[in-house]
Chain A
Amino acid sequence: MDEKTDTQTGRLHLMNLITQIIIQVQELTLLIWRVVRGLTRRPRYWGETIRQMDNLGFGSLVIILLTGTFTGMVLALNSANTLQKFGVQSVTGQLVTTSLIRELGPVLTCLMLAGRVGSGIAAELGSMLVSEQIDAMRALGTDPIKKLVTPRILALVATAPALTVICDFVGVLGGLLISITLLHQPASVYLASAREAVDYNEIIGGLIKPTVFGFVIACIGCYKGLSTTGGTVGVGRSTTQSVVASSIMVIAVDFLLSKLIISLLLEP
């Protein structure tokens, strides 16, 4: 009897979870639709978009520089040992560059953005919601989607690829530093090898990913912030959920995009 009740309760929980997920996807889709529809109508908050680009994008520069540099250094260090066993240590630059442009640059940059920016957006909008600032905005005749959500999405879609390029660049320099100082490889060898890894398709593929990731992070951050319930505790919950959901989505979408980019751009 107890076993049967447990099974029924388990099913009920599962159904609740599935229903919750469907509702959240529906609400998120609706939010995105309102953003897209709002793009064609006035007013447009370009000033606010620039401010958000500065705040979300330029404000993340330091952590992206550090992430890129250390990733490049670690990549060079680890790969050089393995490559040495096969006598091809000279392609260290190529390996570091390809790894960064294709995968690590976009993913690590956007995971950092999910942590810093996604959480910030959710916390800010969540706080505004629980302190009735969003209602006040609506009462004063402003559409919060246009004023708050659209500028943040546009800002992140624009700055995530730019930050990724910077991450890739400093990563390659980090690898160069390790090649020269620890692996005692001439800079010219490393750079020549790195240059071989760079072609148009790789770069396009490496820019598509952060653009999509930026969109995903901003949408999830805004959605979680605007669906905050339960006062200040709820703000904390929304912030955590935003980081977790955006990080998972970045990795999941990365897989799908990688498959797509390889099929469309990189396969001979």
Chain B
Amino acid sequence: MTKNFNAIEFQDVSLAFGDRVVLNRVSLQVRYGESKIVMGGSGTGKSTLLRLVLGLLKPDSGRILVDGEDVTDYNEEQMMTVRSKIGMVFQEGALFDSLPVYDNVAYRLREQKVPESTIESVVMRMLRFVDLEDAVEKMPNELSGGMRRRVGIARALVGNPKIILYDEPTAGLDPITARTICELALKLRDLEEVSSIFVTHRLQDMEVLANEYVIRDDAGNLIFEHEGDRLCLINTKFIMLKDGDIIFSGTDEEMRLEDNPYIRKFLA
């Protein structure tokens, strides 16, 4: 029996909405502990990729494997089990409008009938992780865009999923807040060894995720360092999508050396 190294695997996956081909025989692998940064313009199938992993959409052809399990033909009930291994951060947070921050973060645990005392400690730990302990009683409409995304991340982290999917979590945010979101992604990648797909079209995100890492010193403090002589990041790879095709797959250094006019234009 061959050992499975992939948290997520796409094998020749195609999907079309009517005449419009969204993904065309896409194959990719996300290894355990790896972050795959998916880049590309609007409408190139980036978010569709994440929806396919979660089973919110089904491919027209090809196979999708999550944690070594072929989930392509799973029905909604079977997907519920698979989804418990995955956390999803939606573009605008997708928080439940009618619930305060606490209940939003506690949602998954409440559905699993976890005792309230356990829920409270988990929720507070997650909110501390995203630095939003003070917003616990606020309603989603009282939060800023960045705070909503951070609550979305806290909610996605409940249940300690080993796979996290980020759907443009920094879109429309100011550089400082976007940096905070990227730092959260770094913490999850480097300290929790979470596998992830990070969809973005912002070069600033790419710079942070490809060149920085986080470590914890002896005193327990978090230190963000730049990739350099001391360490070379191998747990972050890039994919560039264009019109449903993968036109690049590799490291950021390789991407910068690409001659493809679309990639050159994207990186300019």
Contacts and interface: CB of A to CB of B under 8 A. Distances in A.
Interface in A129-161: 131-133, 135-143
A138 B90 contact: no
Q: Classify chain B: how many residues form its interface, as a range.
A: 20 to 34
Contacts of B80: 141, 143
Given A133-B97, A135-B51, A135-B56, A140 B83 contact: yes
A143 to B, nearest CB: 6
Interface in B51-105: 51, 54, 56, 76-77, 80, 83-84, 86, 88, 90-92, 94-97
A136 B111 contact: no
Contacts of B92: 131-132
B262 interface: no
Contacts of A140: 83, 107-108, 111, 155
B75 to A, nearest CB: 11
A131 B83 contact: no
Contacts of B155: 140
Name the residue among A43, A127, A132, A137 with the largest chain B CB count within 10 angstroms.
A132
A133 B94 contact: yes
Given A43-B111, A135-B56, A141 B84 contact: yes
Contacts of A133: 94-97
A139 B93 CA distance: 13
Contacts of B76: 138, 143
A58 to B, nearest CB: 18
A140 B97 CA distance: 16
Contact of A132 (B77, B83, B90, B111): B90
B93 to A, nearest CB: 9
Contacts of B95: 133, 136
Contacts of A137: 96
Interface in A24-58: 43
Nearest to A132: B94
Contacts of A135: 51, 54, 56, 90, 94
Given A143-B76, A143-B80, A138 B56 contact: yes
Interface in A100-135: 127-128, 131-133, 135
Interface in B2-58: 51, 54, 56
A139 B97 contact: no
B96 A139 contact: no
Contacts of B83: 138-141
Interface in A235-258: none
A140 B90 CA distance: 12
Interface string B88-132: 101110111100000000011001100000000000000000000
Contacts of B51: 135
Contacts of A139: 54, 56, 83, 86, 88
Interface of A: 43, 127-128, 131-133, 135-143
Interface of B: 51, 54, 56, 76-77, 80, 83-84, 86, 88, 90-92, 94-97, 107-108, 111-112, 155
8 contacts: A43-B111, A132-B91, A132-B92, A133-B96, A133-B97, A135-B51, A136-B90, A139-B83
**A-B residue pairs, 6 tightest by C-beta:** A132-B94, A136-B94, A139-B88, A140-B108, A141-B80, A132-B90
Given A131-B92, A133-B97, 10 more contacts: A131-B94, A135-B51, A135-B54, A136-B94, A138-B54, A139-B83, A140-B108, A140-B111, A141-B80, A142-B107
